Amino acid sequence: MAETLSGKTALVTGAAQGIGEFITSEFCKEGASVFMADRDRPRLEGTARALEERGYTVIPCAFDITERDQVKAAVELALNRFGSIDVLVNNAGFYPRRHFLDMADAEWDQMLAGNLTGTFNCTRAVAPAMVERKRGSIINVGSVTFFLGMANLTHYVAAKGGIVGFTRSLARDLGGYGIRVNCISPGAVATESEKNFGTAEELAATFLPLQSLKRRIVPTDIARVAVFLASDDSGGMTGQTLNVDGGWIMH
């Protein structure tokens, strides 16, 4: 079976672990070369080594997506090494809970910077090269929490709602250049980080009754949708948000 991303190059943020690590791995399996971005240098380099040992072409680069100078330098490095960036996956983000009445100004600012402005920074740095080549796929990662509205996540839901709006308007701005912009909206994904919120059994008992599919969503579920959006198989799609949540939210 042919590799669907053969010859393509991608930049994936938040690639050291979780969903970003699985997206990177699936992209590599499908023939892509991946520029891996994350601010956790030790973990990023460890993940990259494991992929290199499997024969994949990856380049790790530690930088902070909220720092525009760092983003610009990293994108220039990626373009110098690969010659192009065919796919950008804006996956990096974080998920702290805080009741609105207890939220400090700095917490609001940090959340929007990490989950919304960082996506803007990376996209603005990558887009000119895509425009020049008149092709590219930008994949943003949102969250079903935007459609639900959830307690203790006002700042996070606001940022992820911004991602959906950003996706739609950017698709209008860049469509004339042959660039597609789409969003994946994960549901309750079973990752290492979710252990902060309970045991696997407790989380399954919480989320499975809400889903139509009675199994946990795993990072590979998100990664395979990212492969589809990165590939020519989704060539007619732009401005869309795809919920990958086991049938939790339907709209």
Which residues are annotated as catalytic?
A: 156
Q: Return phi, psi of residue 183, to 5°.
A: -130, 140
**Consecutive H or E run containing 66:** none
Residue 150 phi/psi, 5-degree rounding, is: -130, 145
Contact (CB, 8 A) for 32 and 83: no
CA 235 vs. chain centroid, Å, equals 19
Give CA angle at 58 (52, 59), nearest 5°.
120
Distances in whole angstroms, Cα of residue 185 to Cα of each of 90, 160, 224:
12, 9, 13
